[in-house]
Amino acid sequence: MLNWSAVRKLLIVILALVLVAIIVIPGYKTKKQSEIRQVCQWRLEQMAKAQEKYFAQYGRYVSELTEISGDSLNFTCPLNDSPFILDMPDSTHYKLSCPNRHGWVSEERASWKQE
Ligand SMILES: [Zn+2]
């Protein structure tokens, strides 16, 4: 014999849990995405610093990221580990950008610090 009152209570509990999930999950994803973007932009900044250091020493920027990457430098986006894109019109100009559109750095500028 089915106890309809118990079934109804159970349905209400399930509905409440679904509603909570609908509210919480997108917020969690957004937080996760902004954390990934921050790590990505931090990595881009570190690469930019390394580029400036290299430039100060050799008068040109590196054309291969592996030349300056080391233990502390990472030139991949944390989202999917795809490497940053280095665009160099010549040895004294460069633009390093994230393939997942998290931003770019170019000489002393960064896309997320534009005015
Ligand atoms: Zn990225």
Does a structural domain hold residue 89?
A: yes
Does a structural domain hold residue 35?
A: yes
DSSP readout, the chain? ---HHHHHHHHHHHHHHHHHHHHHHHHHHHHHHHHHHHHHHHHHHHHHHHHHHHHHHHSS--SSGGGT--SS---B-TTT-PBPEEEEEETTEEEEE-TTSS-EEETTEEGGG--
Does a structural domain hold residue 37?
A: yes
Structural domain boundaries enclosing 103: 19-113
CA of residue 49 to ligand 1 center, whole Å: 17
- Taking only the tens place, the pLDDT of each residue in 71-104 is 678 899 999 999 999 999 999 999 999 999 999 9
Does a structural domain hold residue 8?
A: no
CA of residue 48 to ligand 1 center, whole Å: 14
Please tell me the pTM assigned to this model.
0.77
Confidence of residue 14 (pLDDT cuts 50, 70, 90): very high
Provide the domain count of the chain. 1
Does a structural domain hold residue 5?
A: no
CA of residue 44 to ligand 1 center, whole Å: 9
Does a structural domain hold residue 88?
A: yes
CA of residue 4 to ligand 1 center, whole Å: 52
CA of residue 102 to ligand 1 center, whole Å: 4
Does a structural domain hold residue 65?
A: yes
- Taking only the tens place, the pLDDT of each residue in 23-79 is 988 888 889 999 999 999 999 999 999 999 999 999 999 998 888 866 678 899 999
